[in-house]
Amino acid sequence: AQAILDAGCDYLHTFLHTHHRMHVLSGEEALVATSGLVFQKMRADPRLCDYLIHTDVAELATEVRRFLQCAFGGGEWPEMRVADDAVAAYEELADVLLCVLSRPVALGTDVLVSAFTSVTSDMADDERVLLFLEGIEEAALIHVEVHAESSGNNSRCTSEIGELVDKEAADFEAIETPVHSLFATEALAQDINVVAFEEL
């Protein structure tokens, strides 16, 4: 079980660093990527090591995703850049898990899977759980704000470039007009000289 867990976490770690950090995710992809970050945090948490060794990784992954579906009011996940700041409040979630894990359970129960089930159903209103989920929502909000600011900067830049081009065009026209007038005057003078010469 530990080997499977290690392989799964290593795959998620590689996938997150080579793909997810380069692209903005939304919906199910963002949820699954965030669950991968939760697994990484749990794997690095010495308080949960023994529980992870004896858990069914597939069932646990299902419960973690079911828990994360509580974010955004249970609705569709918006666009966000999945990174560590999305699970910055992991310690809050871990405290709740440890509280649930300290309770007695029936023999043969997968305690970690059962704990996540309890967190999702019985402790959904716990302040620490809400804080963790709010951290995910804030990460999405920050992405929206950064994206909006970037779009605004691009619009301002485009506008400034347009103004610069217009100014350069006006300056060129201001220079070009006298030059054309000068050429026209010189041409007229040459014509007059030719006519005068012919008359002679």
- Comparing 151 with 78, the larger pLDDT belongs to 78
Which tens digits make up the pLDDT trace of 40-74? 999 999 999 999 999 999 999 999 999 999 999 99
- Comparing 67 with 158, the larger pLDDT belongs to 67
Q: For residue 21, is it left (φ>0), alpha (ψ between -120 and 50) or beta?
A: alpha
State the pLDDT confidence band at 188, using cuts at 50, 70 and 90.
Answer: very low
Amino acid at 46: P
Q: Is the CA virtual torsion 39, 43, 44, 45 positive or negative?
A: positive
Burial of residue 86 (CB within 10 Å: 0-12, 13-18, 19+) is buried
Residues 115-121: what's their mean pLDDT? 95
Residues 20-36: what's their mean pLDDT? 82
Average pLDDT, the chain: 77
User: Would the pLDDT of 152 be above 70?
Assistant: no
Among 17-21, 54-58, 99-103, the range scoring the smallest mean pLDDT is 17-21
User: Would the pLDDT of 112 be above 90?
Assistant: yes
CA terminus-to-terminus distance, the chain: 113
In the chain, domain spans:
2-153
